[in-house]
Amino acid sequence: MSEPKKVLFGFHAVTVRLKTAPDSIIEVLIDPSRRDARMRQFIARAKEAGVRLIEADALRIARLAGSHGHQGVAARVQALAPARGLDELLDALAEPPLLLVLDGVTDPHNLGACLRVADGAGAHAVIAPKDHAAGINATVAKVASGAAETVPYFMVTNLARTLGELKERGIWVLGTSDDAPQSLYQQELTGPTALVLGAEGPGMRQLTRKTCDALLHIPMQGAVESLNVSVASAVCLYEARRQRLLR
């Protein structure tokens, strides 16, 4: 049986694969009408990695990518082996876990942005329920700018049960809610932590909310009542990272 294949598009997503697993790249399509410095640098990197390059017009690349936002670059690649199990990942960590849990985030652009934030803040994994979440696709990979290749993303059958198992490991499960009495900035985040965020609007589901050890709110000073989930993820994860850097 042949190995499963997928498509990556956009400079960031394809460049990360060139860095991390060049042997998994079958071929890269590039638009020859784009001759700027960024494209020249990308081509040089691809040639250095020994990757097969194919010139193709923008329409052909768009058909492969399923999007016109490909920046003139798309790659056919072998799917990488799935991330090791969550338990194995947690057992191998040399520092207190920092996890991002997304409940009800179904928009691929939001998921991609959350993965990018998780990578930047040094989160060890992102967790989501199988039935109420977006999966990894080409759009997610493009928006994630390579983070879909570097951040383990676990889709679990029962989110409440998984949160319960995290709590049994001593991981503090902290949900975010606009009506929570305690501020994010009042909470110590240096220990084992899972930050739970729901989709903008409906927020976390009730069972997820009840499973959390505590609820926190992000202080809002202006007229806007809430933040996009990827922005809220950034605020929470970087506050946790800031506290850990000060230890």
- With beta carbons less than 8 A apart as the criterion, state whether 135 and 109 touch: no
d(CA 241, CA 129): 25
Residue 50 annotated as binding site: no
Residue 86 annotated as binding site: no
d(CA 165, CA 143): 31
Residue 198 annotated as binding site: yes
d(CA 154, CA 151): 10
- With beta carbons less than 8 A apart as the criterion, state whether 61 and 31 touch: yes
Structure letter (DSSP) for residue 135: P
Number of neighbouring beta carbons within 10 Å of residue 162: 20
Query: Known binding site: residues?
Result: 198, 218, 227
Query: Known binding site for S-adenosyl-L-methionine: residues?
Result: 198, 218, 227
